[in-house]
C-alpha cells in the first residue's frame, strides 16, 4: 500500500465516492448529491486543504482530507481532518490508521500544534481516533422537533 497525494483523475474518483463516505460517516443521516459533495470539497481545496490517498495495486482503497481550520473563539489556527474514508473491503486492516498517521505527520511538518476532527457519535472510527490520542474537546447536541 502506498499513501500519497492523488492525481487529478483520482480526485474525481474520490468526489464521485464522497456521498457514500458522508453517508457512512454520518451513520446514514446524510447523503449529499455528488454535486453538493463536489461543491463542499472544491471549496476546501481552494482554501488549501488536500487529500492523501491510500492506493493498493493501482486502486484507491481510502483517503483522508486534511487542512487548516480557525477556532471561532480564539482565532487560532489548527490542523483539521475533514474526512477519513476506507473502502469497506479494506476496513479493519490498518488503512485508516496509516492514513491518520501520515496526515498527522504532514500537519506537524506544516507546524500545526494541534489537530482536530469531528465525528458522529457511534461512528466506529472514534475508536481509532481515541487509540491515536484524540480526546473529546467539545460536544455537539441536537433536539429533534
Q: Which long-range contacts (CB under 8 A, 24 or more apart) does 125-129 make?
A: 125/25, 125/84, 125/96, 128/96, 128/97, 128/100, 129/100
Q: In this structure, is residue 88 part of a structural domain? A: yes
Query: Per the domain annotation, does 109 fall within a domain?
Result: yes
Q: Is residue 97 part of a domain?
A: yes
Per-residue model confidence as pLDDT tens for the chain (145 residues): 999 999 989 998 999 888 888 878 777 777 778 888 888 889 999 999 999 999 999 999 999 999 999 988 899 999 999 999 999 999 999 999 999 999 999 999 999 999 999 998 888 899 999 999 999 988 888 888 9
pTM recorded for the entire structure: 0.90
Is 144 a domain residue? no
The verdict on residue 140 lying in a domain is no
Q: Where residue 40 sits, what CATH number does that domain have?
A: 3.40.630.30
What's the grid cell of residue 6? 492523488
How many domains is the chain partitioned into structurally? 1
Among 67, 86, 89, residue whose Cα is nearest residue 124: 86
Amino acid at each position: 500500500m502506498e499513501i500519497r497525494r492523488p492525481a487529478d483523475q483520482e480526485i474525481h474518483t474520490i468526489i464521485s465516492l464522497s456521498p457514500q463516505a458522508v453517508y457512512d460517516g454520518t451513520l446514514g443521516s446524510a447523503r449529499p448529491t455528488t454535486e453538493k459533495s463536489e461543491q463542499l470539497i472544491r471549496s476546501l481545496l481552494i482554501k488549501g486543504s488536500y487529500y492523501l490517498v491510500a492506493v493498493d495495486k493501482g486502486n484507491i482503497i481510502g483517503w483522508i482530507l486534511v487542512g487548516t481550520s480557525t477556532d471561532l473563539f480564539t482565532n487560532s489556527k489548527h490542523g483539521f481532518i475533514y474526512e477519513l474514508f476506507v473502502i469497506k473491503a479494506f476496513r479493519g486492516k490498518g488503512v485508516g490508521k496509516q492514513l491518520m498517521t501520515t496526515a498527522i505527520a504532514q500537519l506537524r511538518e506544516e507546524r500545526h500544534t494541534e489537530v482536530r476532527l469531528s465525528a458522529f457519535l457511534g461512528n466506529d472510527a472514534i475508536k481509532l481516533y481515541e487509540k491515536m490520542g484524540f480526546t473529546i474537546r467539545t460536544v455537539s447536541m441536537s433536539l429533534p422537533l
